[in-house]
Structure 1
Amino acid sequence: MDFQEQTALTTANNSFSKRSTVLILAIACGLAIANVYYNQPLLGHIGRSLEIPVKQVGFIPFLTQMGYATGLLLLVPLGDRMERRNLITTMLLLLSCTLVAEATSPNLIWLSIASFALGFCSIVAHLVLPLVAYMTAPEQRGKVIGTLLSGMILSVLLARTVSGAISEHFGWRSVYAIAAGVMIILALIVRKEIPVNKPSSTLSYQQLMASLVDLFRQQPVLREASFNIALIFAAFNIFWASLIFLLESPVYNFNAQVAGLFGLAGIIGAITTPLVGRLTDERGPRMLVGIAVSLALSAFVILWLAGTHLMGLVVGVIILDLGMHTGYISNQIRVYNLVPNAESRLNTVYMVINYSGGALGSFMGTYVWGLWHWNGVCALGFSLLTIAALIHFNTRQRKLIQNP
């Protein structure tokens, strides 16, 4: 590393050491990713507005998250070879355009295309996170990334709450119109706060994409962490995509605003995320992954047995969110620690697999609800988490035998 690079890295480190900068980046990450989740409490309104049956409306969150996974695959690797500040600002402005398209959708086809494009452009957080990981000392990485993820998680929770409330008063389209304006403001703020950052790789785009396959093949921890979080996230989205239909059913007779308020039940997960980051630094991420899987499994047991009672549903949501967020950050830190100067590409593999699982979970949640209602939803989520537990603890046992 030459003198100029060292000076730039020191300047960026000083910038990221300021709590205000980290807070702004946490808000930016959160507001960008929140766009992916606005539609979950709105599915009932969208279906009635565009006359879409339940089984088809489930494609909306599925397409949004598949767009997100595609954006992660095709765009995030660019963070290792392009100047990140310009890339992040550009993506925020493009995201604003897709939100306008979503708000003006006249039919299912337009809405489907706009939803995919919206997800595709919502990958801003995963351009910011590798940048922060690269610019942060390893012994502080868990703490700083935990703070950023806390902002992301809190925004996802509030996204459901805010979109449900706005939809009840002003219609579902207004949710996306407001978000479009927020993205433009955010682009201006982020451009001012993020320092110019020299790319960490000189590989061509084709070489970057080929290296994703190499990383996946050569890094068993990357494969293990990616499939673990994909199974947890699939179960998580199975629950959230179908929750609105449970709440609107005769069991509860609630509306979209109340469905959105259930997102606040998971705020404990957001608050505890920085603590999870610190525990990961101190105890190691693998132990936290085991705790995450156990929490998520426990949550689905509670939801299955007591989800038709309000208190049981709230407790289940809290524990499920704790499990999801613990698994997310602990697995992600495992991945970031694998190969220096490849943070964006490692994150790409991890998040593409993660969101592919989440997208399938969103679709399966609404589809299974249409067939078997709440019992089917809980059985499917529990089954996926059982697979995650078997893989995780079986792998751990093999490693203990090999390295007693």
Structure 2
Amino acid sequence: MSVNVSAPGLSASSLLLMALACGLCAGGNYFNQPLLHSIASHFSVSESAAATSVTLAQVAYAAGLLLLAPLGDKLQRRGLAVSLMLLAALGQALCGLAGQFDLFLLGTLMAGLFSVAAQVLVPMAAALAQPGQSGRAVGWVMSGLLLGILLARSVAGMVSEAWGWQAVYQGAALVMAVVALWLWKALPASRNPSPVSYPQVLRSMWHLLRSQPGLRQRTLVSALAFASVSVLFSTMALQLSSGPLGLDDGQIGLIGLAGAAGALVATQAGRLVDKGLGRVSCAIGALALLLSWPLLWVGGAHLGWFVLGMVVIDLGLQCLNITNQATVAQLLPAARGRMNAVYMTGYFTGAAAGSALGTLAWRINGWQGACALGLALALLACLGTFRMRKTHGLVAA
């Protein structure tokens, strides 16, 4: 599959570099998921306490989306993205060097907050792409983000088995710093000038949410979808390590690769939006999300079904997310950064809620409780998808 999205300020190599940077930023928030047992043992805390780091990473990311990502409509985007990425690398380094659990949580907070560099790069890619190709550009960059999330879990598990879980964070900090400097050299200076102050930028986001029904609808659906998937992300390591399968960190990490099929589909979802076929992509995503949970329910004791469920759930989430995000990017081009920030704030708020509720469901009724919750959230996302109306000439599901 070739990358056929270019513009005077966005070459194919620059687009792939942006995808790599997004993958590193987003993936850093998922290192802990296959490592919860090891982290809990190292700091002598319960696995439930270690699992709070999953929720913290999502909450921090949502806060960064709300407070930092909108600056992409005001400041020089390249400099903003690079600065945020370097600060995220510092947070990863703190996680890898922490001697106490509180310091590990502080590093998780920093890494999550500043990893919103990814969501400065997404609207930047849409803005620099040629007319009619912004959906493809968003699809490629978000494919990098998804691959980062999937590979982060897998690589984290394998590195942890070889060199210990701290090496995961230490290595990530170094790689992120190098890629951030590479971004500075490779990307063109890009700014969406805004004469308003920072408080006005933040207030305008509330106005956008109220005045753009398409933004509200798509944000809610995607938030519910990611909440459903985050129930899985926050509990899968607990089930796979302590349940009948008894897998170690490396094996749990490898299972994360099963969702790579979703990343391959993500670019096609963006192409469907460019062709006015968002309804198709949304329908596929919603139904796949709903189908995945019965597979995962059975997969708690049967690895083959679990792997299949991982493929289907990642496929469903990415079809919905890419379609909704690419559509939002086209609703109001002059406010792409803020529109994307509103959308992604809701998206990751859903993830944080799903992680917290998933941990609670696990405490109450183990894997069955987590699967029941995930299925209920998927059903709500599916119902919301099929209630969306046509907005701004873009066909919604």
Shorter chain as denominator, the TM-score bin is: over 0.9
Q: Alpha-carbon deviation of 1:92?
A: 1.7
Q: Alpha-carbon deviation of 1:140?
A: 0.7
1:216 to 209, 220, 229: 209
Q: Alpha-carbon deviation of 1:306?
A: 4.2
**Partner letter of residue 294 of structure 2?**
V
2:117 to 115, 124, 132: 124
Q: Deviations over 1:202-245 (max 9, x none)?
A: 22101100100000111111111111111110111111211111
Q: Alpha-carbon deviation of 1:146?
A: 1.0
Q: Deviations over 1:31-83 (max 9, x none)?
A: 11111111110111101111111222221011111110101111011111101
Q: Deviations over 1:233-290 (max 9, x none)?
A: 0111111211111111241011011110011101111112111211222243244223
- Flag the 1:354–1:167 CA change in 2: closer, same or farther, 3 A: same
2:9 to 6, 11, 15: 15
Residue in structure 2 matched with residue 330 of structure 1 by the alignment: 323
Greater displacement, 20-29 / 70-79: 20-29
User: Percent identity of the aligned residues?
Assistant: 35
Tell me if the contact between 1:303 and 1:378 (Cα under 8 Å) persists in the aligned partners.
yes
Q: Alpha-carbon deviation of 1:357?
A: 0.8
Greater displacement, 147-156 / 276-285: 276-285
Tell me if the contact between 1:201 and 1:341 (Cα under 8 Å) persists in the aligned partners.
no
Residue in structure 2 matched with residue 289 of structure 1 by the alignment: 282
Matches within 5 A, 1:270-281: 270-281=263-274
CA distance in 2: counterparts of 1:278 and 1:34, whole angstroms: 24
Residue in structure 1 matched with residue 252 of structure 2 by the alignment: 259
Q: Given the alignment of the two structures, is residue 68 of structure 1 paired with residue 61 of structure 2, yes or no?
A: yes
- Flag the 1:108–1:367 CA change in 2: closer, same or farther, 3 A: farther
CA distance in 1: counterparts of 2:21 and 2:111, whole angstroms: 16
* TM-score, normalisation: structure 2: 0.94
CA distance in 2: counterparts of 1:215 and 1:154, whole angstroms: 30
CA distance in 1: counterparts of 2:321 and 2:261, whole angstroms: 15
2:77 to 84, 87, 110: 84
CA distance in 1: counterparts of 2:345 and 2:278, whole angstroms: 20
Q: Given the alignment of the two structures, is residue 321 of structure 1 paired with residue 314 of structure 2, yes or no?
A: yes
Matches within 5 A, 1:175-324: 175-324=168-317
Residue in structure 1 matched with residue 3 of structure 2 by the alignment: none
**Partner letter of residue 60 of structure 2?**
G
CA distance in 1: counterparts of 2:240 and 2:142, whole angstroms: 28
* TM-score, normalisation: structure 1: 0.92
Residue in structure 2 matched with residue 390 of structure 1 by the alignment: 383
SS in 1 for 2:141: helix
Tell me if the contact between 2:269 and 2:278 (Cα under 8 Å) persists in the aligned partners.
no
**Partner letter of residue 164 of structure 1?**
G
Residue in structure 2 matched with residue 59 of structure 1 by the alignment: 52
Residue in structure 2 matched with residue 105 of structure 1 by the alignment: 98
Greater displacement, 357-366 / 176-185: 357-366
CA distance in 2: counterparts of 1:206 and 1:13, whole angstroms: 33
Q: Alpha-carbon deviation of 1:396?
A: 4.7
Q: Please list every run of 5 or more consecutive structure 2 residues that lacks an aligned counterpart in the other structure.
A: 1-5, 391-397
CA distance in 2: counterparts of 1:85 and 1:58, whole angstroms: 34
Q: Alpha-carbon deviation of 1:350?
A: 0.4
Q: Given the alignment of the two structures, is residue 365 of structure 1 paired with residue 358 of structure 2, yes or no?
A: yes
CA distance in 1: counterparts of 2:209 and 2:26, whole angstroms: 25
Tell me if the contact between 1:285 and 1:333 (Cα under 8 Å) persists in the aligned partners.
no
Residue in structure 2 matched with residue 38 of structure 1 by the alignment: 31
**Partner letter of residue 349 of structure 2?**
S
Q: Alpha-carbon deviation of 1:111?
A: 1.9
Q: Alpha-carbon deviation of 1:100?
A: 1.5
Tell me if the contact between 1:230 and 1:354 (Cα under 8 Å) persists in the aligned partners.
yes
Tell me if the contact between 2:73 and 2:191 (Cα under 8 Å) persists in the aligned partners.
no
SS in 2 for 1:183: helix
Equivalent pairs counted in the alignment come to 387
- Flag the 1:200–1:341 CA change in 2: closer, same or farther, 3 A: farther
Q: Given the alignment of the two structures, is residue 151 of structure 1 paired with residue 130 of structure 2, yes or no?
A: no
Tell me if the contact between 1:307 and 1:316 (Cα under 8 Å) persists in the aligned partners.
no
Larger radius of gyration: 1
CA distance in 2: counterparts of 1:84 and 1:395, whole angstroms: 32
Q: Deviations over 1:130-188 (max 9, x none)?
A: 11111223411111211111111111111000001111121111111111111111121
Residue in structure 2 matched with residue 402 of structure 1 by the alignment: none
SS in 2 for 1:199: coil
**Partner letter of residue 313 of structure 1?**
F
Tell me if the contact between 1:33 and 1:124 (Cα under 8 Å) persists in the aligned partners.
no
Tell me if the contact between 1:59 and 1:363 (Cα under 8 Å) persists in the aligned partners.
yes
Tell me if the contact between 1:234 and 1:359 (Cα under 8 Å) persists in the aligned partners.
yes
CA distance in 2: counterparts of 1:241 and 1:258, whole angstroms: 16
CA distance in 2: counterparts of 1:130 and 1:305, whole angstroms: 39
Flag as ranges the 4+ runs of structure 1 deviating above 3 A: 394-397
CA distance in 2: counterparts of 1:202 and 1:15, whole angstroms: 23
Q: Given the alignment of the two structures, is residue 29 of structure 1 paired with residue 15 of structure 2, yes or no?
A: no
